[in-house]
Amino acid sequence: MLTLDDIKRSPAIKTYVQSADRVMQAMKFTEHGFAHAGIASHVAAHILSALDYDDRTCELASIAGYMHDIGNNINRYDHAQSGASMAFTLLSQMGMDPDETAMIVTAIGHHDEGSGGPVHPISAALIIADKSDVRRSRVRDKADINIDIHDRVNYAVTDSELEVFPAEKIIRLGLTIDTRICPVMEYFEIFLSRMLMCRKAAEYLGCRFTLDINGTKLL
Ligand SMILES: [Fe+2]
Ligand SMILES: [Fe+2]
């Protein structure tokens, strides 16, 4: 059975994660490389593990999280679908079982808010893990915070934490935003559709999604 370690050791996958991030850098997007892949991988598995899914399902979520943005190699537009096609080829070549490959390509193919939505638990966990990765270290050049709202909002987030409360059936994203850098409204300007997608994903997992910013519950 393919593990997350096998995926991380694959020279081809390493290359595609790296080169996809170079494309994002050239297009002035925030960091989409190993750090984002690692966080999405870890958080997706954590969500399912906290909700008592079996170990293999959690590991498949971590693999989907690690590979979810490789489609940016081809183009940002439709990167979820192109990434799913790339993952299909890579995982098939590595000998993954078709049932498991299907779960992963479906999760990757449905992670973007433009065209996706939660279709199974791994897909739901990936959506929440991906959309909640907002942090200062995703900004490549501090100078860009004056001209780009995505850089400004990410830079303003000084702390973020995703917590799962299985007994209460709550998935909570807590953010600390430095409002001297950007008003909370700017966060919603770019993240509202992503937060609504998180809400749907949490509901798919039988939970409620809550968003706290600077100690105030907003969703
Ligand atoms: Fe993406
Ligand atoms: Fe992503």
In the reported structure, the alpha carbon of residue 130 is separated from the centroid of ligand 2 by a whole-number distance in angstroms of: 5
In the reported structure, the alpha carbon of residue 68 is separated from the centroid of ligand 2 by a whole-number distance in angstroms of: 6
In the reported structure, the alpha carbon of residue 80 is separated from the centroid of ligand 1 by a whole-number distance in angstroms of: 6
Q: What is the pLDDT of residue 218?
A: 83
Tens digit of each residue's pLDDT, the chain (219 residues): 999 999 999 999 999 999 999 999 999 999 999 999 999 999 999 999 999 999 999 999 999 999 999 999 999 999 999 999 999 999 999 999 999 999 999 999 999 999 999 999 999 999 999 999 999 999 999 999 988 999 999 999 999 999 999 999 999 999 999 999 999 999 988 899 999 999 999 999 999 999 999 999 887
Which residues, 6 or more positions from 24, have their beta carbon under 8 angstroms from its beta carbon?
30, 31, 32, 33, 72, 76
**Range(s) of the domain holding residue 91:** 4-217
Whether the model clears a pTM of 0.85, i.e. scores above it, the answer is yes
Taking the C-alpha atoms of residue 144 and residue 45, their distance in angstroms, rounded to an integer, is: 33
Taking the C-alpha atoms of residue 68 and residue 27, their distance in angstroms, rounded to an integer, is: 18
Q: What is the pLDDT of residue 3?
A: 98
Adjacent-strand bridge partners of 161: 174
Q: What is the pLDDT of residue 21?
A: 98
In the reported structure, the alpha carbon of residue 68 is separated from the centroid of ligand 1 by a whole-number distance in angstroms of: 6
Taking the C-alpha atoms of residue 83 and residue 39, their distance in angstroms, rounded to an integer, is: 18
* CATH number for the domain that contains residue 20: 1.10.3210
In the reported structure, the alpha carbon of residue 151 is separated from the centroid of ligand 2 by a whole-number distance in angstroms of: 15
Query: Of the bound ligands, which one is closest to the alpha carbon of residue 78?
Result: 1
Q: Total structural domains in the chain?
A: 1
Residues with CB under 5 A from ligand 1 (ion): 69
